[in-house]
Amino acid sequence: MTGRSDNQAASILSILLVVLALVFLLAERWFRHKSRFYQTTGRYRAPQRIQCGWLKTAAFTVYLATIVGAAFGIPAYLLIQWSLSPEAQAILDARFFNFVWNSAVLSALAATAGVLVGLPLAYLASRKPTWLNVGCLQAAYAGYVLPGPVAALAVLVLFLKLMPFFYGTAIVLIVAYVLHFLPAGLQSLEPALQQITPNLEEVARTLGLGIQETWRRVTLPLIRNGFIVAWVLMFLQTMKELPATLLLRPVGFDTLAIRVWLEASEEYYQLAAPSALLIVLVGLPALVLLLSRDWRAA
């Protein structure tokens, strides 16, 4: 696509990847199509603790500390050190905070749109598993196993053929993000719906509630946690997305991921450090939320 400017050849290769992805996704769905795991209680069951002696505790602590230090501690230390350098401090101006705003708004809009699109897909596939509903759900999963440039190419061709007046706008980026990262939200929405027995909704209907009231008073409160996790996962994935953003971003529209790539490609690591560190800091509260026990028990 970028080497020879041959969009037709790139499209053919992309179609092959899409077909392979659908084959494996449909095979996975077929193997577990009869699996249903309904939640019978609303309480969160805390995992049982295993008592260890001081030697085993010390060994586990050293092992886990080594992994965390190598995977997070050392990179975070270098990012902080580079961010405090005079070169990095010089770029922290209004233009830099504009990059932050672009990343935050795009990620929030893409996550919200993804959840709104994924919720009906997951619900219909869970409650009415016809071949059409399940097929649409599996087609949505195909976006996650494909490289970012493939999704970007598909969106590019779609808008150029059908809606060329939207080309070069942020709407194209949001559509590409939703197609590419919708499966991350479905991985939380679908299990949340499958764990709720349909009997609860049927009882609500027999007690006089309509479809909308049943959704608002029964279904949505029960899948609230899965809804939150889906939004957070899509937000984080979008925040660090690079290939699709490079191909589809409007002229002069930069995000934090773009700035990291531009500066790091020129080996200006001190200048790339603030943007990279901010991406890490944005992800930490979401990680704490996903690992926390209290909000799931609420």
Residue 215, judged by CB atoms within 10 A of its CB (0-12, 13-18, 19+), counts as: middle
Band the pLDDT of 295: cuts 50, 70, 90.
very low
The two three-digit tokens of residue 181, written as one number: 């990262």
Output the CA–CA distances (angstroms, integers) from residue 214 to 38, 69, 182, 202, 208, in the order listed: 18, 48, 25, 9, 9
The whole-number pLDDT of residue 114 equals: 92
pLDDT digits (tens, 9 = 90+) for 106-126: 999 999 999 999 888 888 888
The two three-digit tokens of residue 287, written as one number: 């990680």
pLDDT digits (tens, 9 = 90+) for 134-148: 778 877 877 776 777
Instruction: Say what the pTM is.
Output: 0.77
pLDDT digits (tens, 9 = 90+) for 95-109: 888 888 989 899 999
The two three-digit tokens of residue 97, written as one number: 């905070």
* Model confidence at 62: pLDDT above 90: yes
Q: The domain 84-297 belongs to what CATH superfamily?
A: MetI-like (1.10.3720.10)
Q: What residue ranges do the domains of the chain occupy?
A: 84-297
Mean pLDDT of 80-89: 88
Average pLDDT over all residues of the chain: 82
* Model confidence at 183: pLDDT above 80: yes
